[in-house]
Chain A
């Protein structure tokens, strides 16, 4: 079965600094990969997803992620953090269309 590991339950960056949230997956076949963001007291919102094709995926709010099969990774990055990026971020993996597995999440704090 597929699984996801998010390295670091809490990441803190300064406003304007690079954001890097790490995600590694375990899967026996090429998976679909997702990043979701969750703001306080809200549901999850899709940031971006990788299905097939180009391994560098661009999402909303300036985020992007790169699928690296050799490293089984799908790290999320943003060149310059904004205060509004403070939230919980979840990486997820699925093999078929409906069996999504989520990581434990990484809480991003942005310092002024």
Chain B
């Protein structure tokens, strides 16, 4: 059974850093891309960033709101994806979700398809 468990959330002051984790089980972690999303309290979903598997270059992509401040990384030996968040702002307060992204081909092109979601971890940025 595919499981994704986020951890490491909590209360942090503006300007500080925090690293949250996504521990995966039930599949061969190294073969999959991973993404991060977030949801501010009472608001909609927002894409944060992704990290492809090493087989596909380990490339990353980030939303404009977090580019230069957030970094997605992975430890394939442990089956964990990380989201390093620096220079945190109050507007970064949200539940952060990780997803597993499966390589998929259709309509003549291939991409990393979002399939499974974790349950999320709450990050609160406040003084």
The yes or no verdict on A and B being binding partners is: no
- Measured CB to CB, the residues of B under 8 A from A are none
Which residues of A approach B to under 8 Å, CB–CB? Answer: none
